């Protein structure tokens, strides 16, 4: 069993740089968990503390039932895959994969079996005699993963392992690592700054910023129910649109007023928004929750605003529209064939059942 838990873990580097503060987190046995966040949020430091490569300033780390604060990395039963692969250039693929086992004095036959099994899983059997310089980036990454697999660790740690690969190879390796997780049934902890990687790979995602965890949830919950404006804007591509404005109540109906446009709130939102009447809030809408009126059959006028499309980015099955609404630019994601005419007025329809509101003071989600 390899659950991993962090209890009130903080890390300060010299100069009073707090990389992480008071992180408490439980990772289930066999879970694939992803730490994601912008550069400097503390995700690598958290991973390195789990690996034992960095010592926490305070707090406890458990792997399985054992507190490992004082256990050196080599005795933690973990294997780590780094962004730069960290292969030994003078050794063959076989020797790179066998190296850790030889150090631990495994019998020769056992090493041979493990290396060949891992090579088969990763489809690199034919590369075992090559040196790293004779391999492509994707092949090198497989060897680095192979070197982790042969150890049969309790926990795999990945630190941005796909960052050096081209876009196509990244997508391919992403699937391969997921398949590997299903096959090996081992706890995997994966660090990335790429929200698409996080969304596509994680059973659960830990969203971090400035050394703090903002939300831990499965991908769909993160997307549909972000706890604050940061998570809402970080998860999703193109990102959620934010508009500052005021909540107003007129004749028993409630509206969001941005200055240039006004839209009516659905009934279910009226009660939770009551405390915000006549106050400033942040309105959020995802690009796919807006439509060109020409292409929707049922578009109530109170959900519709005037916009001008300034740029269209055709993506094939979909298109991104860069819209001028007078005050706030918006990005919409529409069907690839539903394109408006550039620089002509259009009616933009909001799906008001999908909108979000955030508190202007705290950035926390209201609804
Ligand atoms: P990136 O995606 O850029 O690697 P990250 O989210 O992994 O970022 P960390 O590498 O964990 O972030 O760094 C968190 C904070 O700690 C940053 O402010 C960083 O500058 C600082 N930091 C990390 N390592 C050290 C160190 N060895 N000495 C001093 N400060 C450090």
User: Which pLDDT tens digits describe the chain residue by residue (367 residues)?
Assistant: 689 999 999 999 999 999 999 999 999 999 999 999 999 999 999 999 999 999 999 999 999 989 999 999 989 999 999 888 889 999 999 999 999 999 999 999 999 999 999 999 888 999 999 999 999 988 998 999 999 999 989 999 999 988 888 888 889 889 989 999 998 899 999 999 999 999 999 999 999 999 999 999 999 999 999 999 999 999 999 999 999 999 999 988 999 999 988 999 999 999 999 999 999 999 999 999 999 988 887 788 889 999 999 999 999 999 999 999 988 999 999 998 888 889 988 999 999 999 999 999 999 999 9
Pocket probe for ligand 1: among 6, 11, 13, the residue whose CB has the most ligand atoms within 8 Å is 13
- Quick one: which of 252, 256, 83, 49 has its CA closest to 155? 49
Q: Any idea which residue has 């990772």 for tokens?
A: 27
CB-ligand 1 contact for 161 (6 Å cutoff): no
Pocket probe for ligand 1: among 12, 18, 45, 84, the residue whose CB has the most ligand atoms within 8 Å is 45
User: What is the pLDDT at residue 250?
Assistant: 92
Whole-model pTM? 0.93
Three-class SS of residue 270?
A: helix
Structure-token pair, residue 297: 């059959």
CB-ligand 1 contact for 42 (6 Å cutoff): yes
Are 6 and 25 a contacting pair, CB within 8 Å? yes
Structure-token pair, residue 18: 């707090």
Q: Which H or E run contains 359?
A: strand 356-359
**In whole angstroms, what is the distance from residue 79 CA to residue 61 CA?**
16
Are 59 and 23 a contacting pair, CB within 8 Å? yes
**In whole angstroms, what is the distance from residue 25 CA to residue 27 CA?**
7
User: What is the pLDDT at residue 233?
Assistant: 97
């Amino acid at each position: 069993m390899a659950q991993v838990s962090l209890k009130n873990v903080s890390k300060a580097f010299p100069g009073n740089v707090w990389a992480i503060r008071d992180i408490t987190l439980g990772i289930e046995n066999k879970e694939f968990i992803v730490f994601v966040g912008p550069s400097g949020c503390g995700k690598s430091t958290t991973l390195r503390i789990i690996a034992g490569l960095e010592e926490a300033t305070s707090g406890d780390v458990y792997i399985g039932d054992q507190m490992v604060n004082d256990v050196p990395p080599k005795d933690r039963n973990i294997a780590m895959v780094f962004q730069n692969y960290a292969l030994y250039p003078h050794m063959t693929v076989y020797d790179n994969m066998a190296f850790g086992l030889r150090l631990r004095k495994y019998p020769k036959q056992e090493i041979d079996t493990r290396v060949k099994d891992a090579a088969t899983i990763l489809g690199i059997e034919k590369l075992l005699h090559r040196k790293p310089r004779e391999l492509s980036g994707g092949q090198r990454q497989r060897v680095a993963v192979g070197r982790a697999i042969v150890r049969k660790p309790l926990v795999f740690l990945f630190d941005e392992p796909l960052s050096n690969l081209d876009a196509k190879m990244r997508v391919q390796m992403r699937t391969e690592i997921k398949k590997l997780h299903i096959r090996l049934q081992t706890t995997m902890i994966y660090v990335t700054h790429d929200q698409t990687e996080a969304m596509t790979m994680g059973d659960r995602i830990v969203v971090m910023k400035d050394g703090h965890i903002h939300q831990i949830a499965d991908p769909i919950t993160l997307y549909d129910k972000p706890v604050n404006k940061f998570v809402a804007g970080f998860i999703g591509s193109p990102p959620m649109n934010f508009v500052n404005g005021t909540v107003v109540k007129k004749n028993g109906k409630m509206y969001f007023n941005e200055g240039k446009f006004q839209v009516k709130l659905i009934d279910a939102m009226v009660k939770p928004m009551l405390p915000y009447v006549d106050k400033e809030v942040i309105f959020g809408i995802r690009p796919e929750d807006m439509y060109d009126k020409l292409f929707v059959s049922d578009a109530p006028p109170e959900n519709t605003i005037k916009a001008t499309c300034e740029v269209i980015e055709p993506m094939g099955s979909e298109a991104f529209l860069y819209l001028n609404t007078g005050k706030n630019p918006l990005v919409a994601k529409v069907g690839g064939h539903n394109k408006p005419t550039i620089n002509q007025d259009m009616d933009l329809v909001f799906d008001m059942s999908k909108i979000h509101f955030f508190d202007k003071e705290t950035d926390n989600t209201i609804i």
